[in-house]
Homo-oligomer: A and B are copies of this chain.
Amino acid sequence: MTRVTILAGGVGGAKFAKGVRSLPAGKLLDVTVIANTGDDLWLAGLRVCPDLDSIMYALGGANDTERGWGRAGESERVSGELTAYGVGWPWFTLGDLDLGTHIARTSMLRDGLPLTEVTERLAARWDLGVRLLPATDDEVDTHVEVTHPEGGIRTIHFEEWWVRHRAQLPARRFVQQGIADARVSPSASQAISEANVILVAPSNPVVSIGTMLAVPGVREALAAADAPVIGISPIIDGSPVRGMADACLDAVGVPATATGVARFYGARSGGGILDGWLVDLADSDSAAGLRAEGIACEAVPLWMTDDGATARMAEAALDLAIRLG
C-alpha cells in the first residue's frame, strides 16, 4: 500500500486528486488530501470552507461540473432571504445545498469540535475514497491589501478580492490573519510524515499552496518527510491552468511561468519543498535549468482535459516519485 499525501487548493486540487484516486486498483493507493483553509470565511454567521467543500463535492460526485464550482442542481432560495434581510454579501451567493454543509459545519464547530473532526464527519456522508484533512484547525483567513479605486489602501477578505473584484484590484500583498498563532493540524502533520509520496497539486501557488506552507509546522513537516515531494506546475506556457493565479503571483513578484513557480517553491535540498517538478510539454525548455538547481524536472502533458488525461498526469507524478524515492 502506497500512502500518497496531496497538498491541494480547491477546484484544481480536487480535479487532480480525482485523477490520483482513479489510478488502477493495482497501485493500491491510500490517499490523503490536505486542503488549504486560507480562503475560509465567516459569512452570515456561518463558517464557509471553499477549498474543503470543492474537494468534498468533487470527490463525492456532487459538484456542478458545468458551472465549475459548488453543488450540482443547486438553488438559491435561502440566499434570497439573506439578501432581503441585508445579511451576508449579495455578490457571494451561497446555494441552498451548499448552505446545508455550512450550517452543519458551523453547528459542530460551535459545539467545540476541531475542523479536522468536523471535516471527517461531513466527509463521512460521501464516498470520497480519500481522507480529507484541513491543513490547520486554526482560523487563518487570507486578506488582501489593495489600493482601492475610491482611494486609500484597504484590507479586504480574499474572497471579496477574488469573487467581487475578480482579482482586478491590484493586490499589494496577502495577509494571513491569525497565522502567527496557527499550527499545522496533528493529522496533516502525520499524513506528511508517514507518506510514501507527497504531491503538490497544480493549485494556486500563492493563496492555496503558499498559504498552507505559511502555516507553522507545514514546511517543517515537509522538510523532515521521508517521502519525495513532487509538484505539478499550475502554469502552462505562461498562463494559469485555471483561476487567476497570475494576479496572485504578480502581487508577490513571482513570474507566472512554470520555472517561476518552481523557484518560488524551491528545491528541498536548498531549503525549499520540491524534489521533483512536472511541467507541461510546452515548458520542456525549463527542465534542464531546474535540474541544475536540484529539482528533478520532467515535461509531460499537464492539461486536465478529462479524467484519463488527469490520471496519466498523476501517474507521471507517482513514477517520478518512485524514481526519486
Contact = CB atoms under 8 A, between A and B. Distances in A.
A122 B254 CA distance: 47
A108 to B, nearest CB: 7
Contacts of A110: 45
A101 B85 contact: yes
How often does this chain occur in the complex, in copies?
A: 2
A122 B85 CA distance: 6
Given A45-B110, A110-B45, A104 B81 contact: yes
B108 A81 contact: no
A107 interface: yes
Contacts of A96: 77-78, 81, 96
Interface string A104-133: 101110110000000001100100000000
B87 A107 contact: yes
Nearest to A46: B103
Contacts of A122: 85
A86 B44 CA distance: 22
A107 B45 contact: yes
A283 to B, nearest CB: 42
Nearest to A101: B81
Given A44-B107, A45-B106, A110-B45, A99 B78 contact: yes
B97 A82 contact: no
A190 interface: no
Contacts of A84: 100, 125
A111 B42 CA distance: 12
Interface of A: 44-46, 75, 77-82, 84-88, 96-97, 99-101, 103-104, 106-108, 110-111, 121-122, 125
Given A46-B107, A81-B103, 16 more contacts: A44-B103, A44-B104, A45-B103, A77-B77, A77-B96, A77-B100, A78-B78, A78-B97, A80-B100, A82-B104, A84-B100, A85-B125, A86-B125, A87-B108, A99-B103, A103-B103
